[in-house]
Structure 1
């Protein structure tokens, strides 16, 4: 009978026993089940329930319109002109599961400073067109559609998936972006997804996260998750960037944003960490408005 020597103990295995044969029979079944479940979950995570916000612009002149998007889709867009002559345009992009209403308070802040705000709902969000497998890359495509529609250099503000999409759009259209704000962003997509799933449920993330990310990258994204990660694109973005991040963000920890900040050209990026904030409430913390305004003044208004 074969033996395994561990320290001072001899452990015997009977490779012909019923128990061993049963275990060896179960292993391929478990592997097949894991593959099938991870494939199903890969589809399901793209169908994460939407949590739209209901908050309409209450300042300036509001135009509610529809613009064309990729793959024959369309986006609902608000363009809000300030009550004074406009200093420029700010395009704001929401994160996963939200809609354009999510960015209204941030947009209003810029409106009070004399800027035109343009806010859209990404495909498969709000009342924009459906998209069966919406993802971060398509968030970028939607921001590209808005940039082309505006057709002049803008300040680009993205939150979470909208921040990742903003990096993609800015890398493809450097002539249409003059300054960026990235709130709740991340550096590399694969680690970010694993962190996201663990924040939902630790065991779900540990067990199924790697399988979901594998199918997502190899099948759905055709191995583009790495090349289109914010960290990979950042070195080619030559505009001032302010990264805004919650100190206690458990979805994408602060170290993700710090890694991204270091990836931009030297002296282009700055970080502001919102004390006590989580993933989505940095804009509600003391100091947020003054930091955003200070960065704007230093790089555009007083430059």
Structure 2
């Protein structure tokens, strides 16, 4: 029995590992202006990213990719944000793209890397007090919610195609693998929790979203076959007092094409969130009472 479980654990570790997708081009190949940067994260690992400075420099956006992809796939969103004057930081998570490897990937580790990216921006000259927003896709979106729930210095979060609860994602994976929930599926969920060091309930977006203290925009494709739109509706229903907007768009899991069409919705949300944050910060600095936003 011990040998059987050890073999199952090795199979699960391999099956759940994130594939490393190589980048296909440089910033110059994409016609963008910026530079390649290295960001220190947990366990002395280094993340590789692109820093795209905006002309207005009124705020910065950290963009987080999803599972098994890399920073390059998020360029369709980075390009218009930079054109509107935002500083944009795209980076590869550990075990992804050109960043260092680690023993495993997980949504909490994505969140750690997002926080490392925020800290990197804060350490740049002139950026210590600048508004920073988070934008993440799929697992990156869930990680952005988790990271924002731990911090007071995030101005806004845009979460794209995000699941409501990781246990539901695991159940869908088990169904795809044609594995029964009892006893195999139950063991898989407990094994993953033990490996990542977190209970699913503690990191589930439906539980982290209500702890966030800035505006959140949830965007989801109506025909998403990977994470159903019902997850976005469930997540929105569990928002608590967090100011949260839900937008269901045409499209599936990859929303880049449709978001380009609806970019004004995303940009207006970020502009309003940052303006609200700056107004609140000014009132706090002058000692005047602020109007509650929740």
Deviation per CA, 1:12-66, whole angstroms, max 9, x where unpaired? xxxxxxxxxxxxxxxxx8x985x45542332013324333442443456412111
Task: State the alpha-carbon separation in 1 of the partners of residues 234 and 141 from structure 2.
Answer: 15
Kept after mapping to 1: 8 A contact 2:171/2:185: yes
**TM-score, L = length of structure 1:** 0.79
Pairing 1:230–2:230 present:
no
Q: CA RMSD in A?
A: 2.4
**Equivalent residue for 1:81?**
53
Choose the corresponding residue for 1:284, options 236, 240, 257. 257
1:262 is displaced (CA, Å) by 2.2
**8 Å CA contact 1:188, 1:231 repeated in 2:** yes
Rg larger in structure: 1
Match of 2:233 among 233, 241, 258: 258
> Aligned residue for 2:38?
66
Structure 2 unmatched runs, 5+: 123-127, 280-294
TM-score by length of 2: 0.82
Change in 2 beyond 3 A, CA 1:216/1:252: same
Higher relative CO (CA 8 A, sep ≥ 6), structure 1 or 2?
2
Aligned residues, how many? 266
Deviations 1:83-105 (A, max 9, x none): x2322101100011111111111
| 1:135 equivalenced with 2:106 (yes/no) | yes
Matched-pair contact (CA < 8 Å) for 1:196–1:251: no
- The unaligned stretches of length 5 or more in structure 1 are 1-28
- 1:135-186 Cα distance to aligned partner (Å, 9 max, x none): 11100110011111111431110011111111121112222x1011000111
Which residue of structure 2 aligns with residue 101 of structure 1?
A: 72
C-alpha distance in structure 2 between counterparts of 1:46 and 1:110, whole Å: 33
Q: Structure 1, residues 95-145: CA drift from partner, whole Å, max 9, x if none? A: 111111111111111011111100110001111111121111100110011
Aligned counterpart, 1:186: 163
Give the match for residue 212 of structure 1: 188
Q: CA deviation at 1:269?
A: 0.8
